Amino acid sequence: MKALVQILLPYSLNLPKNSKFNTPILNDGHNGIRFLPLGVDQEAIQNPIDKITIDGQDSFEANVLLIEFYRDTFDRKNESSLDPSADQILGAANWFIERLRFVGKDSSITPLEDLGSINVKYTNDDGSELEKEEGMAREKLTRAVQFKYSLLTPEIWDNIFNLGDDFSVPHWHNILLDSSRLLPDIGPSLVLAETALEVFINYVLDSLSRQGDIPQNVWNWINERDWLKTPSVDERLDFLLQHFTNHSLKSEAELWEGYRNLKKARNSFAHEGIPKIGKDVVDSEKGKSLIRNVNLIVLKVREWLPEEFQWPVFRYKTKIELVQKLRTYERNPSRNNESDSASDAVSN
């Protein structure tokens, strides 16, 4: 028996039309697995280009990953979970995507965090339809809808101009926003988050030093020596912040632990290529919480600063309602614009 899994990707690739792709059946510990050339869900393609040629040959834009799983049998009961399981499907998809990213050298191709919208169609090994059986599915579907939006209300508009002519957006703020934008790329996002925190505390201490009891030439000497002798970020968030504000981040146990975990994850990624805290790999949710903790540190330190050093903070209370009409996912996505036949794209 065969299960054809169709996974809608969050990006597209261009394939030359009517080209032959070798599709060997690979050993997956069961009866085998096979990757087919990508299919098309035309409605999901954003800003399609009228025409792209590859080595002079017309191409088509594809965004559906096609995987065939072979088994003696699958659990097709209506009430059962997906078979193959979601973990098996996601593992197979990312196995292919990571290799594609490596050999294709394309940074826009990224592994999947979750499966999103998929179809699983069960057939005989030759692709013919299974006989109808009571309580047994011949196709299973899952749907995921993700919304992204940005707001510009009259209140936000007015705040742009209320900042004042002399206001400059702090560098640390832009870097911290960019760290969230990079998610779900956890490693790079954590590197930026720690960079933002370092730039932030340097900015705060430099500002405070101009009105502090440390002569400016002494402060410059402290910070401009060899990097092994300059105060570490730990020392800036602890001893130096205590000196200028009478508060140390160490006194906020949860925030301090979050900072230390961020540092461990960042260092692990920088030196090993995998963000980890101890032996635990940082997943997407943990990565988000570490970045959220940096935002909380920034707000806490702001509370400790004299009013003249505090930057504006904006909070908005807005009710948002989203409505989207769900459409039926294409069962057999076309593999090129001229023919739906797999034989036009596949060489066994």
- Kindly report, residue by residue over 234-284, the tens digit of the pLDDT: 998 998 999 889 999 999 999 999 999 999 999 999 999 999 999 999 988
pLDDT score of 166: 87
DSSP 131: P
CA–CA separation, 233 vs 237, rounded Å? Answer: 6
pLDDT score of 334: 44
| Dihedral sign from CA coordinates of 173, 174, 180, 183 | negative
Sites in the chain below the pLDDT cut of 70 = 42-48, 144-147, 212-213, 219, 221, 223, 225-229, 324-348
Residue 321 CB neighbour total at 10 angstroms: 4
Q: What is residue 91's three-state secondary structure?
A: helix
DSSP 126: T
Strands 280-281 and 346-347, by their bridges, are: unpaired
pLDDT score of 324: 66
Nearest alpha carbon to residue 243 among 210, 200, 209: 209
Query: Cβ(33)–Cβ(92) under 8 Å?
Result: yes
Query: Cβ(103)–Cβ(88) under 8 Å?
Result: no
pLDDT score of 338: 38
Q: What burial letters (b/e) apply to 244-262, b meaning 16+ CB within 10 Å?
A: bbeebbeebeebbebbebb
pLDDT score of 194: 96
List strand residue ranges (DSSP E) for 227-330, in order.
276-277, 280-281
DSSP 24: P
Query: Cβ(268)–Cβ(275) under 8 Å?
Result: yes
Query: Cβ(9)–Cβ(129) under 8 Å?
Result: no
Q: What is residue 223's three-state secondary structure?
A: helix
CA–CA separation, 138 vs 132, rounded Å? Answer: 8
pLDDT score of 17: 86
